[in-house]
């Protein structure tokens, strides 16, 4: 029996299970052992009923499995004959720690194949019909984390000056500090903002507002839910008409 020294690092996409790629689906159907991140939509596991599922994960600020343990588990399993998938929410390479895991696995003699996934901000923008770039408004989009292991490692001032759409992941805990930095750097107080919690899931919370109301609204948010803040002119294009048809809509500002 040949020993499989390869692990698939696969992006599951955001909350809607049909946003997984066909390539990821084909690999899940062959998987025998799936290591699942805690931000993965559990419905995705219906694509691999034959596989042994191990729920692990590492969520900013929560008690969960240490990265070092996950790495060691992948290496020990990676030296068996199983078809091993490391399944991550969104995309493995946008805040997914895919890079760190590849470095560790390669250093331990295990090859990796990476399958990209729709990152949460893209899934949310599509659902709510606001583009992330727009020729007449904004020439780029920045995906940035608000949760960093080093202080001051994000230059919020430069991001304001860049005039790109900002999609801030994992920013809820530090949002008041982030708002202060953005304000000091000249963020327009009328800049549209969209806040989405539990994006694309059953209990998704959608809020559309403007930058000057963000500080007050952020205090009312459920601190335990995965949250993305979109800040930029394009956020103003999210269609009110369609939003009003949805449950859980709140609109401020």
The residue within the footprint of its own copies, chosen from 102, 196, 218, 228 (CB under 8 A), is: 102
Enumerate residues 6+ apart whose C-beta is below 8 A from 151.
none
Query: Which residues ranging from 104 to 133 are in contact with its own copies (CB under 8 A)?
Result: 106, 112, 114-119, 122-123, 125-127, 129-133
Q: Which residues pair with 89 in a beta bridge?
A: none
The residue within the footprint of its own copies, chosen from 38, 82, 157, 201 (CB under 8 A), is: 157
**Roughly how many angstroms between the first and final C-alpha of the chain, as a whole number?**
64
63 contributes a contact to its own copies by CB under 8 A: no
Q: Is 187 a catalytic residue?
A: no
The residue within the footprint of its own copies, chosen from 32, 55, 80, 142 (CB under 8 A), is: 142
163 contributes a contact to its own copies by CB under 8 A: yes
Q: Which stretch binds its own copies (CB under 8 A): 81-89, 135-143, 173-181, 210-218?
A: 135-143
d(CA 236, CA 192): 5
d(CA 50, CA 52): 7
13 contributes a contact to its own copies by CB under 8 A: yes
Phi/psi of residue 210, nearest 5 degrees: -125, 165
Q: Is 91 a catalytic residue?
A: no
The residue within the footprint of its own copies, chosen from 70, 97, 175, 187 (CB under 8 A), is: 97
Given a contact cutoff of 8 angstroms between Cβ atoms, the answer to whether 174 and 154 are in contact is no
Taking phi first (over 0 means left), then psi (-120 to 50 degrees means alpha), and beta for anything else, what does residue 43 get? alpha
Kindly tell me the sign of the dihedral angle through the C-alpha atoms of 60, 61, 62, 63.
positive
- What is the smallest separation between the CB atom of 149 and its own copies, expressed in angstroms? 6
Which has the closest alpha carbon to 119: 45, 20, 26? 20
Could you say which of 74, 122, 170, 187 is catalytic? 170
d(CA 127, CA 225): 19
Q: Is 37 a catalytic residue?
A: yes
Q: Which residues pair with 57 in a beta bridge?
A: none
The residue within the footprint of its own copies, chosen from 84, 85, 159, 193 (CB under 8 A), is: 159
Count residues near its own copies (CB under 8 A): 67
The residue within the footprint of its own copies, chosen from 4, 5, 23, 212 (CB under 8 A), is: 23
d(CA 252, CA 49): 43
Interface residues with its own copies (CB under 8 A) are: 11, 13, 16-23, 25-26, 91-100, 102-103, 106, 112, 114-119, 122-123, 125-127, 129-136, 139-145, 148-149, 153-155, 157-159, 161-164, 234, 237, 239
Residues designated catalytic: 37, 58, 170
């Amino acid at each position: 029996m040949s020993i499989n020294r390869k692990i698939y690092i696969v992006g599951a996409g955001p909350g809607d299970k049909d946003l997984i790629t066909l390539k990821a689906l084909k690999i899940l159907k062959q998987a025998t052992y799936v290591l699942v991140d805690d931000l993965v939509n559990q419905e995705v596991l219906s694509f691999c009923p034959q596989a042994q599922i191990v729920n692990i994960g590492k969520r900013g600020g929560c008690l969960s499995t240490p990265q070092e343990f996950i790495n060691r588990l992948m290496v020990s399993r990676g030296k068996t004959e199983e078809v091993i998938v490391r399944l991550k929410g969104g995309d493995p390479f946008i805040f997914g720690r895919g890079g760190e895991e590849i470095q560790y696995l390669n250093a331990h003699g295990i090859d990796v194949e990476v399958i990209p996934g729709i990152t949460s901000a893209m899934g949310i923008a599509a659902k709510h019909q606001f583009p992330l770039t727009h020729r007449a408004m904004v020439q780029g989009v920045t995906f940035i984390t608000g949760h960093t292991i080093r202080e001051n490692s994000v230059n919020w001032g430069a991001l304001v000056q860049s005039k790109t759409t900002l999609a801030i992941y994992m920013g809820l805990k530090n949002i008041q500090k982030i708002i202060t930095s953005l304000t000091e750097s000249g963020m327009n107080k009328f800049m549209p903002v969209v806040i989405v919690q539990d994006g694309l899931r059953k209990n998704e919370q959608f809020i559309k507002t403007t930058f000057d109301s963000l500080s007050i609204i952020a205090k009312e948010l459920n601190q335990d839910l995965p949250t993305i803040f979109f800040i930029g002119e394009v956020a103003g294009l999210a269609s009110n008409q369609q939003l009003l048809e949805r449950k859980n809509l709140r609109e401020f500002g």
